[in-house]
Structure 1
Amino acid sequence: MRILALLLAAALSACSKQDKWADNVATPPLNVIAEAPGDWTALDGMIGRRPSESGLVENSPISVDLEARLGPDAQTYRNAMMRSGPLQRSGLLMVSKGPDAWLVIDPEQHAFRAGLLREGRWQDWHTAGTDLPRPL
């Protein structure tokens, strides 16, 4: 019922004063409307555990965002992160590093930066509009 109300509100907001539909309105898919951002503070329970033990990159509040940002590279990245060290606190950030992948998370800002070593060069992805540091 809540989703229906959201869809109705979106449809009504597309109307102009003459009760005509806006030509350029695109309604987001239902799953986007229905999903609220995950509670990234839940990542605190993963501190001290390796991604291979905790499900950090496979089944956590950030896994959907990682998948979306990394796209076709997501599986390669997840595989590399299975060899990473435990998630650690670094001030307000959380960091996990391995020989060929790393992850920096800012849970308060719902932001991350992920790196993957490929053919001797680091490739990285980050949440749009953020500039988190690379791990040392």
Structure 2
Amino acid sequence: MRFILPLLALGTAACGGDDKVAANEAMPSLTTMTEQPGDWSALAGMVGRRPAESGLVDNNSPISVDLNARLGRDAAAFRNAMMPAGPLERQGDLMIARAPDAWLVIQPGEHAFRAALRKGSGWQEWQTPGASVPAI
């Protein structure tokens, strides 16, 4: 019993208040995306709905871990830019959402995506490592 308390104290100190990933201040390891892919089956129910309504880019979305891992500090700006996007469309094996300053192409069968955010006069793009998701 005397060893449990120090271990418990050590465990709670290790996870006390460091919410940098949740605040998009630190990028999680890329293995977060590929080690245990999340369940993207819920994305099908988001087709025909705007991201602002469906939660497509919210922090609890099926793709939120993957977006955070790839976009890092830009994840919050991307989410904000996607709020005025039109409904998520199905085009073959792809799901596409477009906003004036951002877009997202999801390939659920490959557990891959490609995202872009307007920065100044150009675009910054991110893609699932090793995937070949088309740009729009």
TM-score, normalised relative to structure 2? 0.72
Structure 1 gap ranges (5+)? 1-31
Residue 56 of structure 1 pairs with residue 80 of structure 2: no
Higher RCO (C-alpha 8 Å, min separation 6): 2
Structure 2: segments with no counterpart, 5+ residues: 1-31
1:112 aligns with 2:74: no
Deviation, 1:40, is: 1.1
Partner of 1:93: 94
Instruction: Give SS of 1:125's match.
Output: strand
CA shift digits 1:106-127 (9 cap, x unpaired): 1111100000011010110000
The answer to whether the aligner puts 1:42 opposite 2:42 as a matched pair is yes
8 Å CA contact 1:41–1:108 kept in 2: the answer is no
Cα distance, 1:41 vs structure 2 = 2.0
Write the distance in 2 (CA, Å) between the matches of 1:112 and 1:99.
19
Aligned length: 103
Give the root-mean-square deviation of aligned CA atoms. 1.6
Normalised TM-score (structure 1): 0.72
Structure 1 runs of 4+ aligned residues shifted over 2 Å read none
Instruction: Point out the structure with max Rg over C-alpha.
Output: 1
Matched-pair identity in %: 63
Is 1:102 aligned with 2:92? no
Q: Distance in 2 between matches of 1:121 and 1:127?
A: 20
Q: What is the distance in 2 between the residues matched to 1:41 and 1:88?
A: 15
Which residue identity does 1:68 align to in structure 2? A
